Amino acid sequence: MEDILKVAMPKGRIYKQAAKLFHKAGLPIPEDLEEGRRLIIPVPEAKMEFILAKPVDVPTYVEYGVADIGVVGKDVLMEENRNVYELLDLGIARCRMSVIGLPDWKPVINPRVATKYPNVASQYFREKGQQVEVIKLNGSIELAPLIGLADRIVDMVETGQTLKENGLVEQEEIFQITSRLIANRVSYRLKNDSIQRLCDMLQAVLPVAGKI
Ligand code: PRP
């Protein structure tokens, strides 16, 4: 059992792209894992076990060592700030974190900023020396400036479609986002051979090789 590698995979938009990459690397992870309701999927032929987690929880599973490694977006990594190793930039699920507002937005004193990423937003405006009130929301962030809850929002932009359909504009880009392979610090030492092997296999099929 010890040499089984436990991999936390994010459910949702990243999963399919990650599964495709793992497949390309010769790892027989089911591509339709999400169609069922199972949360733990053993793949004994690859000596792996996949744990399907909410994306925001992946670094938590990895930090606590219940998963040896995980796939997670840079957005979640920046927000959660967990004690894990970042091993590889997988180059998938590419998007960006941005400040967004209405086209006629004008600076006000102590503006309200709504976001799913309160730590990222607070740090960004602190570093710019701007005082803001950050309001944490859990989804549909684009609503906030439309209904007067916030002056601006900090959110992920992928295709820009959500902004377009809601008459919002991207004002400042904060950072680029891609998915990363992360590892538990103890697992990285104890299971170094299998983690390294996995990294090598993935790296060989990455569009832009991404050792960090
Ligand atoms: C994310 C993000 C934006 C949207 C951006 O929301 O918060 O709303 O995707 O994608 P686009 O630029 O391709 O339109 P998500 O779908 O995760 O749902 P949420 O609103 O519940 O956060």
Using a 6 Å cutoff on CB, does residue 110 contact ligand 1? no
Residues of the chain with CATH 3.40.190.10: 5-93+178-203, 95-175
158 CB near ligand 1 (under 6 Å): yes
- pLDDT of 33: 64
> What is d(CA 133, CA 136) in angstroms, rounded to the nearest whole number?
10
CATH fold for domain 95-175: D-Maltodextrin-Binding Protein; domain 2 (3.40.190)
Predicted pLDDT of residue 1:
47
The domain made up of 5-93+178-203 has a fold known as D-Maltodextrin-Binding Protein; domain 2 (3.40.190)
Residue appearing with tokens 């790296």: 203
Q: Is the CB of 161 inside a 6 Å radius of any atom of ligand 1?
A: yes
pTM reported for the whole predicted model: 0.92
Mean pLDDT of the chain: 93
Report the pLDDT value the prediction gives residue 62, as an integer from 0 to 100: 98
Specify the residue with its C-alpha closest to ligand 1, atom 18.
Answer: 139
Per-residue pLDDT reduced to its tens digit, 19-61: 999 989 988 787 776 667 788 988 888 899 999 999 999 999 9
